[in-house]
Structure 1
Amino acid sequence: MAHKTEDTGKYSELIARAALLATGWQAVSTSETEEAFDISAKNPVSGEWKTFQVKTIYVREDRGGARVVQARKSDGTPYRCDEVDYFIGVEIGREPVPAVWMFDNREQTEYWGPQSKEGKRWVRMDLAFSREDIINEAEAV
């Protein structure tokens, strides 16, 4: 039986991949080998490949509901920018549907997403996938 932390991490990764697809990222995939990143994907605008490390968000009720992501590697060091471009934080358990945010890697070991600054550094990702958008895009080609 898998450890509960492992189950939570895998669930967060699946939600993060769904959020990337729903927001237009292309060729969303995971690595077959051990890498610093969890997911790679192609930016739909620039065509550049980017890497993502997925973390589960913890809510600090004692700090006004601030969202916190622990961004340390197993050795306790932060992820370097040449290892991971972005973090995707997945908040589970507070609402029926997980909330997902993406933010730049700034080589920190901890990131705080206070609710008043969500739109500044943390960008909320939509999980709603619109099939109509894909059909309309295909018809335009």
Structure 2
Amino acid sequence: MAHITETVAMYSELIAQTALLANGWITHVPRTKEAYDILATNPVTGRAEKVQVKTIRRRTDRNGDLVIYTRKGNGTTYDLAEADWIAGVLAEDGAPPRVFLLENTCQSEYWCVESRLAERWTELPISLDRRMLALLEAETTAA
């Protein structure tokens, strides 16, 4: 059986990929070990962008504020050649997962007070909206 850390990491990656797809991104998962977890085509720019997925944690020493730790195994942060975006997945027991997309600014951690999530982090809904996807497709085709 997989270690719980590995299971949660894979769950987060799959949920992040679902959120990206639901929001018009085309996703690709590398077959070789890369610094990023998902290569995704941005529906607005058409550019392929690298997404590093991390599970969001609650900081008990900060009244439950949310934090995304973004250090690699060697202790360094992801530079812009390795990841354009950080996808943070909030996966709490018994609650639907939530996905937040943040531009990579090469920090070792990103944190936010839960009451300010909407203004600080971009939430990607995981629910499918075919009408929105059709609009994105029409815009892409017209361009």
- TM-score calculated relative to the size of structure 2: 0.87
- 5+ residue gaps, structure 1: none
Report percent identity of matched pairs.
Answer: 41
* Letter matched to residue 72 of structure 2: K
Q: Tell whether the 8 Å contact from 2:43 to 2:136 is kept in structure 1 after alignment.
A: no
* Letter matched to residue 87 of structure 1: I
* Letter matched to residue 12 of structure 2: S
2:2 matched residue in structure 1: 2
1:47 matched residue in structure 2: 46
Q: Cα RMSD (Å) of the superposition? A: 2.1
Distance 1:135 1:25, change over 3 A: closer
1:79 matched residue in structure 2: 78
CA-CA distance at 1:8 after TM superposition: 0.3
Q: What does 1:1-141 correspond to in 2, within 5 Å?
A: 1-26=1-26, 28-93=27-92, 96-134=95-133
Could you tell me how far apart the structure 2 residues matched to 1:119 and 1:67 are? 13
- 5+ residue gaps, structure 2: none
Distance 1:139 1:63, change over 3 A: closer
CA-CA distance at 1:133 after TM superposition: 4.5
**Runs of 4 or more consecutive aligned structure 1 residues displaced over 3 Å after TM superposition:** 131-141
Distance 1:65 1:46, change over 3 A: same
Q: Tell whether the 8 Å contact from 1:30 to 1:38 is kept in structure 2 after alignment.
A: yes
Could you tell me how far apart the structure 1 residues matched to 2:108 and 2:137 are? 42
Question: How many aligned residue pairs are there?
Answer: 140
